[in-house]
Structure 1
Amino acid sequence: MPRFDLTPTELTAYRPDVREPDDFDDFWSRTIAESRDAGGEVRRVRVDTPFTVFDVYDLTFPGFGGEPVSAWLTLPRGATGPLPAVVEFNGYGGGRGLPGERSDWAAAGYVHLFMDTRGQGSMWGSGGDTPDPHGSGPSATGFLTRGIDDPESYYYRRVFTDGVRAVDAVRSLPEVDPTRVAIAGGSQGGGITLAVAGLAEGLVAAMPDVPFLCHFERAVGLTDRDPYHEVVRYLSVHRGADERVFDTLSYFDGANFAKRATAPVLFSVALMDPVCPPSTVYAAFNHYAGDDKRIEVYTHNQHEGGQAHQWFAQAAFLAERATAG
């Protein structure tokens, strides 16, 4: 696919005004507080695997409203703690998969928690295990318009809260140094990473890779690819609902979370990405409040971005910030 967005020079300066609700901070502080107050236990059970260099646990933690969320917890075998940790969030439609399927961070010496995304896990990969026990009004196929009539009922309110509570859960583990917790994820996982970076305090690093869920109003009008195109299909049926829909989405825009995030951050962007257009990624990056920020640019890639190249960049970035002490 040829480049279709702003030029590289324009992208580096692209810092648009993004719709932001007046009660954004109140909405999220109340949401997170209510879920923390709901309580719940972190539970884990060791899983038998063929791996000899790390141990895998089936971990359950309380997410939105105290509801149970599944995750895989992978620990380097024989390592002495407390260790730095990486909490990782998944791409759109995927689940946590099989135990040990994501082992790079544990192999590099980190405690790794890979969060299941509630209600997802049946579009690709090896499946998911966490239900989303909430109904919604009419929506288009997919997840992006579920509950979009109101921010209180919107699907990503629950997912982003699950992400914050995943950080809480990993910080509670005896093997983890709670001051050295990083977050990471690609595409949808990158969008969740940005949200958690804006909502959770004291993170040692955030690593959003080709992030989704940023600058909705530009994305929806710029690309004809899903998932953003789910909003187009919804609005093509619910004519005249634009203001209501984009008001809801403004509570979940990665650019608004970026304005509140201060952890050291490493973004990535692909300049031929038709799924998460580069200007939407730069909208979040250029609004990011922290001073320690970098972006890896993959000039001729689409949504696959840097793949293993990006993981090695993340590993080097995180080693400088999380492995000392």
Structure 2
Amino acid sequence: VNVYHVSFANNDYASRMYGILCVPKASGKYPAILKVPGAGIRAYNGETERAGKGFIILEIGIHGIPVNIEGDVYHRLYNGALKNYHSFNMDNRDKYYYKRVYTGCVRAIDFIYTLPEFNGNLATFGGSQGGALSIVIAGLDARVKGLVSFYPALCDMAGYAHGRAGGWPHMLKDAKNRTPEKMKTIQYFDVVNFARQVKVPGFYTFGYNDMVCPPTTTYSAYNVINAPKELFVAETTAHYAYAEQWSAAWNWVMNFLKNESKNE
């Protein structure tokens, strides 16, 4: 597998997205997986082993900074300049932090389409924040053929205003954040709205003890998806997954993309 640290332009002047791209060395055309990240700020190593099975895998960060920095840079950012990034500019839909994230994920698909080794079949894959992004991008971009989502965040975020649990990052749990401006912005970015637009097969998994992404919020998105969907409920899990879930998810997406490629 050839491994690259890559970047590409995003939605604003000098704004870039960064990631680790893994491409099989053998000549040929391959399906692609866009792996989107969970919450936080960190380096990424890429999915070399799974890419070696015949897949282009682009694993991206969302913060517009390189993802191959050594040392404690990410720790300092997470506790400093980017602390609580998920709530930045929440009172303005055009400046809210996740706008550049959502557009950046679409730009990642644009980037994948420039690769000569890509065969046109692409799926998204992620957990928590990444589980949210996996659904969002599949709803936004018709070039996505399938998706995997573990316990998606950003679902039913306004639930707290209606007497039920809201999804991560729980910023509306505090009543003082429920201003008209913030409530309106959240409507534009809630995963449930994008879930309604998903038209492709998906694999979904979560547990019933998850307090980070409560299962009621996950179901709020899952239940409105009008597309083929496979659900793996691991009842006892909280905000984590068993090896069986990871294995089932990777097997699902790999088999799905291989079958899609055979059918063309």
Q: Scaled by the length of structure 1, what TM-score is found?
A: 0.70
Q: Is the 8 A contact 2:157 2:170 kept in 1?
A: no
Q: Is the 8 A contact 1:64 1:159 kept in 2?
A: no
Match of 1:91 in 2: 38
Shift in Å, 1:173? 0.4
1:91·1:189 contact (CA, 8 Å) conserved in 2? yes
Displacement after TM superposition at 1:311 (Å)? 2.5
**1:228 matches 2:169:** yes
Paired residues for 1:140-179 under 5 Å: 141-178=83-120
Q: Which has the greater radius of gyration?
A: 1
Q: CA deviation at 1:318?
A: 2.0
Higher mean C-alpha displacement, 64-73 vs 295-304: 64-73
Residue 12 of structure 2 is aligned to residue 65 of structure 1: yes
CA separation in 1, counterparts of 2:236 and 2:168? 22
- Tell me which residue corresponds to 1:213: 154
| CA shift in 2, pair 1:127/1:115, >3 Å | farther
Alpha-carbon distance in 2 for matches of 1:243, 1:303: 30
Structure 1: any 5+ residue segments left out of the alignment? 1-53
CA, structure 1 residues 126+285, in 2 after alignment: closer, same or farther (shift >3 Å)? Answer: farther
How far does residue 222 in structure 1 lie from its aligned partner after superposition?
4.8
Q: Deviations over 1:224-278 (max 9, x none)?
A: 9x95233434x43x5xx43321211010111110100111111111110000000
Q: Which residue of 2 aligns with 1:199?
A: 140
Question: Identity of counterpart residues, as a percentage?
Answer: 28
Task: For 1:252, give the aligned amino acid.
Answer: F
Matches within 5 A, 1:231-310: 231-233=172-174, 235-236=175-176, 241-290=178-227, 292-306=228-242, 308-310=243-245
SS state at 1:166 partner: helix
**1:187 and 2:128 aligned:** yes
Within 1, Cα distance between the matches of 2:257 and 2:95? 36
Question: Following the alignment from structure 2 to structure 1, what is the Cα–Cα distance between the partners of residues 145 and 250?
Answer: 13
Cα displacement (A) at 1:75 = 1.6
Aligned to 2:58: 113
Matched AA of 2:152 = P
Report the equivalent of 1:103: 48
Say if 1:89 and 1:116, in contact at 8 Å, map to a contact too: yes
Aligned residues: 249
Change in Cα spacing, 1:219 to 1:190, as seen in structure 2 (3 Å) is: farther
| 1:321 positional shift | 2.2
> What amino acid maps onto 1:295 in structure 2?
L
Q: Is the 8 A contact 2:19 2:44 kept in 1?
A: no
What is aligned with 1:28? none
Cα distance in structure 1, aligned partners of 2:160 and 2:18: 31
RMSD value, Cα? 2.7
Q: Distance in 1 between matches of 2:235 and 2:18?
A: 36
Structure 2 Cα separation of the partners of residues 126 and 284 of structure 1: 36
Shift in Å at residue 58 of structure 1?
1.1
One-letter identity of the residue aligned with 1:163: C
Change (3 A) 1:297 1:153: same
Deviation at 1:141, TM superposition (A): 4.9
TM value normalised by structure 2: 0.85
